[in-house]
Chains A and B, each alone.
Chain A
Amino acid sequence: MIEMWLKDKLEAAAGVRNALEDYAQRQTDMRIMSDSFQQINQAMGMPKKEGQPKAAGAAYLKAFVER
């Protein structure tokens, strides 16, 4: 993707911030925008039973993530 960006002299390269930063660190003439076009929130989840969360498991997961 980055090779194509360089080869075809495209104006912008889209990517995941971490991956772009990894690349840009090794270069001197790249810049990464401070804002983003998309944010993907990674969460954990448990299946609901008949529309209701399973109380103990969901509470355990929540506590785990927040710790």
Chain B
Amino acid sequence: MLKSLTAVSMLLAATLAAARSPPRPPRRSRTSRRPASSAPPSISGNGGAGAKGRRRHAAGRQRRSFARTGKVAQRAGGVRDLRGRRQGIRGGVTGCVGTWASSRSSRLRAQAIEFTAPYVIIEGTYMVHKDSSLKQVADVDKPGIRIAVGLGSAYDLYLTRNIKNGHHRPRQCRRRQGDDRDVAQGQARSRCRRAQRA
């Protein structure tokens, strides 16, 4: 039993949330560098921008989830690091951390991967000013409402696809200053300037 476990142990983010959005043709984005069309589904995870972004945003619950992956790998006879590199055992325990934000890729992965029940649920939600008239999530997707979003985050991709009436503005960051996407009517336009090096 342990042998088969030692073969591969991995952590994956299973997304059920994007069920609201119909499957779309693959689109390159910062959160899914792997071409979405690559079938059979790769099980190696992306471990790129998504994982990095998540680590940056990681709060208590997520940190515990990483710890848990480490634990199961240890019990299975090896240790892996967050990027999924093998850590000092033969045969290899690989752990991968990734975030996928589309139901399409979740279904593809389910063909190749047997998932457990979720052990942690990461929620994307909105913060507003205390006296704001916006009370719940449904109030936000309205004409004239502008949303600040971390550029390239998993929820950035989700919002780009799903916000119909509001305006969604990825955060300006060092590399892509002035990036400003307007996703009204579901049509994403992107305007990018190269950042002047400080």
- A: residues with CB less than 8 A from B are 1-2, 4-5, 8, 10-24, 28-48, 51, 53-54, 56-58, 60-62, 64-66
Q: Chain B contact residues (Cβ within 8 angstroms of A): what range?
A: 35 or more
Q: Which residues of A contact B60 (CB under 8 A)?
A: 18
Q: Which residues of A contact B17 (CB under 8 A)?
A: 38-41
Tell me which of B7, B72, B148, B149 contacts A44 (CB under 8 A): B72
By secondary structure, the B interface counts as mixed
Q: Which residues of B contact A44 (CB under 8 A)?
A: 9-12, 69, 72, 115-116, 119
Most buried by A among B13, B132, B145, B148: B148
Contact status B140-A11, CB under 8 Å: yes
Q: Which residues of B contact A53 (CB under 8 A)?
A: 114
Q: Which residues of A contact B9 (CB under 8 A)?
A: 44, 46, 61
Minimum CB–CB distance for B154 against chain A, Å: 7
By secondary structure, the A interface counts as mixed
Other A-B contacts than A12-B132, A18-B57, A43-B14, 6 sampled, CB-CB below 8 A, are: A1-B148, A2-B148, A14-B148, A17-B123, A31-B128, A45-B12
State which residues 1-33 of B face A: CB under 8 Å.
Answer: 1, 4-5, 7-18
Contact status B62-A18, CB under 8 Å: yes
Contact status A4-B115, CB under 8 Å: no
State which residues 44-59 of B face A: CB under 8 Å.
Answer: 57-59
Closest 8 CB pairs of A and B: A18-B59, A41-B118, A53-B114, A5-B148, A38-B124, A1-B171, A56-B1, A36-B123
